[in-house]
Amino acid sequence: MEATRTWDRILSIVPRDPLSRLGGALVDFHRKADIKPYQTVLAALLSENRSVGLKEDFPQLALCERSSEAAARVLANYPREGVSAWGINSPHEYWEGVFARAQGDFDKARAAFTTARHKVEIAMKEQPQLPAGLSLLGKIDAGLGRKQQALNEGRRACELMPISQDAVDGQSFAVDLAQIYAWTGEKELAIKQIAQIERTPNELSYGLLKLHPDWDSLRGDSRFEKILADLAPK
């Protein structure tokens, strides 16, 4: 596979580079839904240089591990002040809510999402139409059960930054909207959104669809299973 060969060439030049090692390990995750190579490399990085390893420990991948140990590891080291992306800060409490929800602790998730929403609202006072902020609020409101508000926010973010305008940021907000649909019980809309996303280059790989808990409500639906089958390695 070309991606594997490319990472092999990079690693022959910089064999100890953390990002390159993880990049090579993630090929099997995205293509085959095999998270073990990533776990092996991450464990090695943590043992060699814990501070470096922790920087490469991503919440989305930890969710795919589906273990309390992975959740505790990420949350213990995710910056307490949050991480900024696309002009908005994703609070620590947002990920607390996501992991609690994935583990079925909905009371804990609600408390975390409530705090996260308050922080995002404050951050957005000067930019109420910031796409990234609206998209994040949509996910938080979906976690809080505020269905219509979540749908409005997620859709507005996609209107403000469509894939046709920005193929990178736009598809990220489109994926967020699919998550909002799934979290609010709009299974048909979620599947249609995923099918549309998969028509263009995107971050929603076979591995993420196969392993990530965001899509658990869609499993068993023939339409979702067909998308997975089409993406599966041949």
pLDDT in tens, 132-163: 999 999 999 999 999 999 999 999 999 999 99
Both tokens of 201, joined, read 């280059």
Q: At what angle do helices 131-143 and 92-102 cross, to 10 degrees?
A: 40
Instruction: Enter the pTM of the model.
Output: 0.91
Position 19 confidence tier, pLDDT thresholds 50, 70, 90: confident
Spacing of C-alpha 5 from chain mean position: 26
Percent with pLDDT over 90 in the chain: 74
From 35, 57, 79, the end of a domain falls on 57
Split into its structural domains, the chain has a count of 2
The SS3 assignment for 223 reads helix
The runs of H, that is alpha helices, within 14-129 are: 18-32, 36-48, 50-55, 59-65, 68-77, 92-102, 106-123
Asked if residue 185 and residue 73 are part of one domain, the reply reads: yes
Position 21 confidence tier, pLDDT thresholds 50, 70, 90: confident
Asked if residue 211 and residue 166 are part of one domain, the reply reads: yes
Position 55 confidence tier, pLDDT thresholds 50, 70, 90: low
The two beta strands, 88-90 and 83-85, are: antiparallel
Contact between 138 and 153 (Cβ < 8 Å): yes
**Domain region containing 51:** 1-57
Position 52 confidence tier, pLDDT thresholds 50, 70, 90: low
Position 50 confidence tier, pLDDT thresholds 50, 70, 90: low
Asked if residue 160 and residue 76 are part of one domain, the reply reads: yes
Asked if residue 127 and residue 160 are part of one domain, the reply reads: yes
Mean pLDDT for the stretch of residues 33-61: 80
Asked if residue 123 and residue 49 are part of one domain, the reply reads: no
Residue with tokens 């019980």: 185
From 42, 57, 72, the end of a domain falls on 57
C-alpha 84/C-alpha 160 separation (Å) is: 19
Taking the CB of residue 25, how many other CB atoms lie within 10 A of it? 20
C-alpha 178/C-alpha 181 separation (Å) is: 5
Asked if residue 67 and residue 164 are part of one domain, the reply reads: yes
C-alpha 109/C-alpha 132 separation (Å) is: 21
Asked if residue 63 and residue 24 are part of one domain, the reply reads: no
Average pLDDT, the chain: 90
Asked if residue 157 and residue 73 are part of one domain, the reply reads: yes
From 36, 57, 78, the end of a domain falls on 57
Asked if residue 74 and residue 43 are part of one domain, the reply reads: no
Q: Is the pLDDT of residue 6 over 80?
A: no
Contact between 198 and 227 (Cβ < 8 Å): yes
